[in-house]
Structure 1
């Protein structure tokens, strides 16, 4: 998968994060939304009605398009920091 966004943090510590069925090495402390975009992940959830793909839009917590499931709870990826061992799943269907 080719990332549309560039990783601007080449020297920062990387940690293991699971998103769906993939384990990724993401920058520690970056928002999950920014880190996933830089890793090439663009679909974070699918809408319940049509299954249309959704991903980050506002990157500041206003739109809720970046919802993911962490520990069974829907959270905004743009408001969640990457940490070692974080396990997240797409919300509203598979990505």
Structure 2
């Protein structure tokens, strides 16, 4: 009645998640790479230190903040992986952007 699908493997790219190489499907988000890596948390809340992992996967909740290629406070669910990308847990509270000379 149903035909079995051929075993098609999507193209993958290798990224580093907290220093560990992880192969993820091409076009996946950095948040998906974090989940595939099995980290216990990608950041901690600044007030209580509660661990957080990607949650909404669409840019609404900010639980997926991570350091990506040396840039902190990136919403990992909104960033597409590239070969060699480095994704690290967010450390500390995020800082607001302040233009030079602003008080």
TM range (shorter): 0.7 to 0.9
| Residue 81 of structure 1, CA deviation | 0.5
Instruction: Specify the alignment match of 1:75 in structure 2.
Output: 74
- In structure 2, the residue matched to 1:3 is none
Q: Highest Rg: 1 or 2?
A: 2
C-alpha RMSD over aligned residues: 1.8
Shift of 1:42: 4.8
When normalised by structure 2's length, the TM-score is: 0.70
Higher RCO by CA contacts (8 Å cutoff, separation 6 or greater): 1
Q: List gaps (5 residues or longer) in structure 2.
A: 1-7, 93-103
Q: Is the 8 A contact 1:48 1:92 kept in 2?
A: no
Q: Deviations over 1:56-89 (max 9, x none)?
A: 1111101100000112231111101111010111
Q: Equivalents in 1 of 2:89, 2:28: separation in Å?
A: 18
Aligned twin of 1:46: 44
* Segment drifting more, 58-67 vs 32-41: 32-41
Distance in 1 of aligned mates of 2:33 and 2:20: 14
Aligned length: 84
Flag structure 1 segments of 5+ consecutive residues without an equivalent: 1-9
Where 2:73 maps in the other structure, the secondary structure is: strand
